[in-house]
Structure 1
Amino acid sequence: MNDFTTDRFALPLLAAGQAGKEITHNEALVTIDLALGAAVIGLGVDAPPADPRPGDCWIVGPAPTGAWLGRAGAIAGWTTAGWRFVEPREGMAVWNSFASRTITYHGGMWHDGDVSGARLMIEGLPVVGPRGAAIADPAGGAIADAEARGAIAGILAALRRHGLIAA
């Protein structure tokens, strides 16, 4: 952190004896308003919209133009005082309003709709876990019923192991 901004979001800090503290304070509040519980209405957009409404936000695309020039990947928010930008930070999540899903920032890029985790729990029960071993394809053909039953038993075991069906 330097003496004038915060470490993560570069929010402006007040200085002792500073004149016009309300300007610095208000700028910090506007940035917080854009970043806290962020929601965007566009992802990967390169040109600023012609008629934005205050509070509307977009994730800037890879080749920004106009007022967004040099802000690739940032969250661009329109305010009554013009465009404000929030640079993404590792682990940041925003709500994708136009697709009703989460967009997360990791590894230096935005990931739209990706879900990562060790397992999926629904009502306290594991539903999907780590991938199990492959189920062998039936082979031969002399005893089709026994081979089919073996393959079905393997499928059922995998579905149960992943919690997709009850045991």
Structure 2
Amino acid sequence: MPPQAQKHVTHNEILQLLDAVAQLTIAGLAAAPPQSQAEGACYLIDAAASGAWAGKSGPIALRVDWAWVFIQLRDGWRAWFQSDTHPRSYQGGQWQEQASAGTVLISASTRPPMRPTDLR
């Protein structure tokens, strides 16, 4: 088969992965694939992974085209955790909680707030 054949397949796979990673929503922590395997579902794999996920602890499992795709995490990624409804960021091999939507962060800066005229 020529290397250019069925370019749309690779393109569609990349779009699916990009969609999952760009708006990462993690359904929960799981050691094995759940009974209900919804398309697009994403799980953080537990250290005690078993079954189809044995030996895969660490990455996230994404359900794409009726199969599990394993994605390695990168520092700086952000995700919404459905299980506890909190956003988290991945840094140094760990997920760290972020301020929830609607939470006001107060800066300790001594710099005065910007005015529209400051942008000129």
Task: Tell me the TM-score normalised to structure 2 length.
Answer: 0.73
1:86 matched to 2:71? The reply is yes
Residues 55, 77 of structure 1: 8 Å contact kept: yes
Give percent identity, aligned residues only: 33
Which of residues 27, 33, 37 is equivalent to 2:23?
Answer: 37
Match of 1:104 in 2: 89
Residues 76, 86 of structure 1: 8 Å contact kept: yes
For the residues of structure 2 that align with 1:19 and 1:33, how far apart are their CA atoms? Answer: 24
For the residues of structure 1 that align with 2:48 and 2:38, how far apart are their CA atoms? Answer: 23
Residues 86, 98 of structure 2: 8 Å contact kept: no
Larger radius of gyration: 1
Give the AA of the match of 1:38. Answer: L
Task: Tell me the TM-score normalised to structure 1 length.
Answer: 0.54
Match of 1:27 in 2: 13
Structure 2: gaps (5+ residues): 100-104, 109-120
Ranked by relative contact order (alpha carbons within 8 Å, sequence separation 6 or more), the top structure is: 2
Residues 61, 70 of structure 2: 8 Å contact kept: yes
Equivalent runs, 1:122-133 vs 2, <5 Å: 126=107, 129=108
Equivalent runs, 1:1-167 vs 2, <5 Å: 17-43=3-29, 45-111=30-96, 113=97, 120-121=105-106, 126=107, 129=108
Give the AA of the match of 2:95. Answer: W
In the TM superposition, what whole-angstrom CA distance separates every residue of 1:74-124 from its partner, at most 9, and x where no partner exists? 12111233112221101111001121111221112223x255xxxx32xxx
In the TM superposition, what whole-angstrom CA distance separates every residue of 1:41-63 from its partner, at most 9, and x where no partner exists? 103x2111022111211111112
Structure 1: gaps (5+ residues): 1-15, 130-167
4+ residue runs over 6 A deviation: none
Give the SS at the match of 2:88: strand
